Amino acid sequence: MIIKGVKARKILNSRGQETIEIIVDSDILQGIGSAPSGASKSSKEVKDFPKGADGAVEFVNNTLSKDLANFSFEKFEDFKKIEKIISKYDKSKDLSVIGGNLIVALEFAILNCFKQPWKFLNPEAKQLPRPLGNVIGGGAHVKEGIDYQEFLLLSLNAPSIKKAIEANFDIHKSARRKFGLFFNKKTDEGAWAPSDLNESEILDILSEQTRKISKEKNFDVKIGIDVAANTLFNGNYKYKHKELTREEHIEYIIDLAERYNIIYLEDPVEENDAKGFKEITNRLKHRCLVCGDDFISTNVSLLKKYKDCLNAVIVKPNQIGSLIKTKEIIDFALKNKITPVISHRSGETMDSTIVHLAAGFNVPIIKCGISGKEREIKLATLERIENEIKVK
């Protein structure tokens, strides 16, 4: 594939924030890629837009487009050459000159020049990720909401991706019908956003709903939690109606996980508490995926350092600003029996490239929401790839 032209423009993400969309014209197809942005960010991730979306657009259109004219892109490893070109302008570790969102949007656009990006990445791909969907939320994703950022649904033994998506959607819909106090208020990611329920009350609701749907569908729908503990931490863990010490918070989290048979637990302690992660993982690892997001920030060096502290890791390409490094952390996780979970962000676009990455790189779980056009297009892409794999 030969790159014939590269152009960037500003668009708005689902939170109404400016981001970048890049269009790559090639000798085979036109590829379009765009970058998301998180409301809840780790201090460890690369910078997204050091010079704003305007600065990123200007750099692509006036400088980078010339460097990439007639570039021959034949295999995934050619992204190393792309990133080497970009490194001429930004040698910082945190991409504080160029920003990770520019690089990710460009690399997504290049991948999307291929008709079936997942197949370009891995012609023999057979495994598709199970959808991890956000049904009830709060934290940094909504003003004046509940303490925890996300209450999630996951079906690992559903007979198809389509059935798993349907189960998540049915529970999302029934949660609103059954509990009218949610009204129409939603989080950034399309989850219902109550303001006056505590964790146990929400988990009671979801336990009832998952039991009902599991019986109807004849497969297990399990509950997950993204605590996003950074948003609670101020030396202690400050909830709306209580304040817990580190030790009290850990015991409370473990009690919830055991009491409600939680299958997935993300960022249960703040991002610098490796010992806390390790304690929770050691106590829950046989029943639960203890997943690091802010803790690891898609950085393979951090995962290598803390691999004994968790058994799952969030993968967000724009946290690290490189598809080469994204694949590196996925490969390391799989090799070391750590479950990689590729993830959307709260400020999303209509780009579905993370679905192709998940399929091409054998990622077992994808976190991409349940409701909202930016989430639903990813789920539709997941279903389409399932059909393509079946008929290839």
Residue whose structure tokens are 């508490």: 273
Candidate list 47, 119, 316, 325, residue with the active-site label: 316
CA distances from 71 to 22, 117, 242, 351, 353 (A): 16, 18, 58, 23, 21
Geometric angle at alpha carbon 278, from 277 and 281, rounded to 5°: 85
CA 272 to CA 349: how far, in whole Å? 30
Name the amino acid, one letter, at 312: A
**Which 3-state string (H, E, C) describes 327-340?**
HHHHHHHHHCCCEE
Candidate list 189, 199, 270, 374, residue with the active-site label: 189
Active site residue 189: yes
Exposure string over 51-90, b if 16+ CB within 10 A, otherwise e: bebebbbebbeeebbeebeebebeebeebeebbeebeeeb
Active site residues: 189, 316
